[in-house]
Amino acid sequence: MEYSKLVEVYEQLNKTTKRLEKTHIISEFLKEIGIDDMEYVMLLLEGRVFPNYDAREIGIASRLMLKSLSAATGISIEKIENEWKKEGDLGLVAESIVKTKKQATLHSTKLTTKKVFDNIRKLAELEGEGTVERKIQLIAELLTSSKPIESKYIVKTILGEMRIGVGEGAMRDAIVWAFFGNKIGIKYTKEGNNIEVEDRGVYNKYLDAVQSAYDVTNEFAEVAEAAKLRGLVGLKGISMRIGVPIQVMLALKADTIEEAFETVGKPAAIEFKYDGFRIQGHKEERGNIKLFTRRLEDVTRQFPDVVEFIKKNVKGKSFIIDSEAVGYDKKTEKYLPFQNVSQRIKRKYEIDKMSKDFPVELNVFDIIYYEGKSLINEPFEKRRKLLESIVKQQPKKIVLSKSRIISDKKDVEIFFKEAVDAGNEGLMFKSLKSPYKPGARVGYMVKFKHIMETLDLVVVGAEWGEGKRAKWLSSYTIACIDENGKFLEIGKVSTGLKEKEEEGLSFMEMTKLLKPLIISDKGKEVNVHPKIVIEVGYEEIQNSPSYSSGYALRFPRVVSLRTMDKGPEQASTLGYVKKLYAGQNKS
């Protein structure tokens, strides 16, 4: 498929903020895509060239892109950089300068989606001497053959700055509309931006089938191929695979014990809520063990201690377990907050030393695959009993999550105090009869804490400090996310960080993280690529016309860095902010 056809779709998607219209655009496009192009097109639609569980990164910074643009167009780096400062978007700069290039040297060949995909993928795979020059050549090769509008999206894809509002929901629905629309009787009306469905029950059946297939593969390309070739049978034939992480089940929040019981039922399995990070442990039949975070990142290398805990203490030839790795103080053996061990996730060097300095205990709380069989449709109480039979517990290495079957509020309060005294956040309530629902916040599991809920927000801007903080970005513009994947500002935060690195999350560390992400600057203020997620506490949520979300946080403070286990797409939603706002104002 010619890349220009995909670019036409990008342009259409950019011209609307309406999710149904975006879904319609994608669904019509999917009907045209051949099986041979499905992988490339589906990933490029999401603005990526690797599935979200693949740890490889394109790894091209803005500076290298400037050199590539210069090599492709013959225009000096200085001139391109000046245009970038004015425009604030290298994709738009690429489109502009490619227009000025002599046509004789451009458009020598028509770009295909496969060519664009292959060249960008190679950027992540190159290593050794001459790597920088080869990367410039690969990018310049694409830009030299591209039309101006194509160059814009090539640059944005490489830099990870695609913002066309295509979320998982739109991709899922588009697959249903494209390949099952005739059976369901879907009619989309652009003028009213609405859909009519002949049978809502049948529609939901197909939606659930596509969602279930995606939850266990994390690849829309595979799901779309199955739907196109074999329909519903193909979707139901997709199963989880050891070594490929699945989306973890997420919990709703409950404000009271009564609300928690009302959601999951009585009696309920009630467990400690640990302040650690999610670890999904996979064991293959040949004995290899892989570890994945909630963000589906492979962290096997960073946690050799956890690999050994699982290898020696969990019986079975093949399985997938769900757990929480929690840091603890070596002297007191009390649990520590997530921030104390989060640095291990991204660590590449001195791993053995880190595992000794920042030890973790693996708290196993669920199992979703065992000896070749998926367990996601089995009731929780059965999955828990299986865990109890196969996990050999070793305190401060690997244990089962502390759990009790409770139906009385007073017993919950006693257990809650025990959890908090042990250094935990609160409790989890789980329905005994529930299946495991990957990637969803459903009424099978809720979390309960006696404190004001924090928000996970994305840094979209920052400001250089003054005086002794002049060398640091020390004030951060933070944003939540709406249903279309758009980041909406909700305030600025500058408190909660340390001036000395050894005291915790510091201004220096934040500056190191944010500086490479700077997109544009104006005076002391900079705009940054939305990648860094921070947990933010606050006193109150207020209405505010000053920020695009319509809300502002009163007395916000940085609680912790969450980038290691949460991506920007997992930030707190505008809908959740509205819910918290409404809840705090109940009289």
Chunked into runs of 10 residues, the chain (587 residues) has average pLDDT values of: 95 91 95 93 92 84 92 92 86 90 56 95 89 94 94 94 83 95 87 85 92 91 95 92 91 90 96 93 95 91 95 97 93 81 76 86 97 94 98 96 96 92 90 91 85 87 87 94 91 89 82 90 89 91 93 91 86 92 65
Which residue is catalytic, options 101, 135, 152, 273?
A: 273
93 and 118 inside one domain: yes
Residues 94, 72: Cα–Cα separation, whole Å: 10
Q: What is the pLDDT of residue 450?
A: 64
Q: How many structural domains compose the chain? A: 3
What is the DSSP code (8-state) at residue 394? B
**Could you give the 3-state DSSP secondary structure of residue 574?**
helix
519 and 404 inside one domain: no
- The residue type found at 80 is I
Residues 116, 138: Cα–Cα separation, whole Å: 10
Q: What is the pLDDT of residue 104?
A: 41
306 and 352 inside one domain: yes
Residues 448, 534: Cα–Cα separation, whole Å: 21
Return the number of other C-beta atoms located less than 10 Å from residue 502's C-beta.
Answer: 6
Question: Looking at the domain assignment, is residue 366 inside a domain?
Answer: yes
Return the number of other C-beta atoms located less than 10 Å from residue 52's C-beta.
Answer: 17
Q: What is the CATH number for 148?
A: 1.10.3260.10
> pLDDT digit string (tens) for 503-528?
678 899 999 999 989 988 888 899 99
Q: What is the pLDDT of residue 463?
A: 93
How do 250-254 and 441-448 pair as beta strands? parallel
Residues 242, 372: Cα–Cα separation, whole Å: 9
300 and 436 inside one domain: yes
Nearest residue to 533 via CA among 500, 569, 483, 557: 569
Q: What is the pLDDT of residue 556?
A: 92
439 and 472 inside one domain: no
Q: What is the pLDDT of residue 587?
A: 35
Q: What is the CATH number for 328?
A: 3.30.470.30
Nearest residue to 297 via CA among 50, 535, 48, 47: 50
In DSSP notation, 58-124 reads: ----HHHHHHHHHHHH---HHHHHHHHHHHS-HHHHHHHHHHHS-GGGS-SS--BHHHHHHHHHHHH
Question: Looking at the domain assignment, is residue 224 inside a domain?
Answer: no
| Residue 311 is a catalytic residue | no
Q: What is the pLDDT of residue 80?
A: 92
58 and 129 inside one domain: yes
Range of the domain at 521: 455-584
What's the pTM?
Answer: 0.75
Spatial CB neighbours of 28, under 8 Å, sequence gap ≥ 6: 178
330 and 417 inside one domain: yes
Contact in structure between 301 and 438 (CB atoms under 8 Å): no
438 and 554 inside one domain: no
Tokens 């292959």 appear where?
118
Residues 547, 577: Cα–Cα separation, whole Å: 13
Q: What is the pLDDT of residue 388?
A: 97
387 and 492 inside one domain: no
Strand intervals (E) in 97-239: 186-189, 194-197
Nearest residue to 93 via CA among 109, 111, 81, 103: 81
Residues 133, 147: Cα–Cα separation, whole Å: 23
Last residue of some domain: 129, 159, 189?
Answer: 159
Contact in structure between 36 and 151 (CB atoms under 8 Å): no
Instruction: Please state, rounded to an integer, the average pLDDT across all residues of the chain.
Output: 90
Last residue of some domain: 103, 137, 159?
Answer: 159
Last residue of some domain: 417, 448, 479?
Answer: 448
485 and 553 inside one domain: yes
> pLDDT digit string (tens) for 3-22?
999 999 999 999 998 889 99
Residues 304, 353: Cα–Cα separation, whole Å: 11
Question: Looking at the domain assignment, is residue 172 inside a domain?
Answer: no
Residues 128, 320: Cα–Cα separation, whole Å: 36
Residues 221, 42: Cα–Cα separation, whole Å: 5
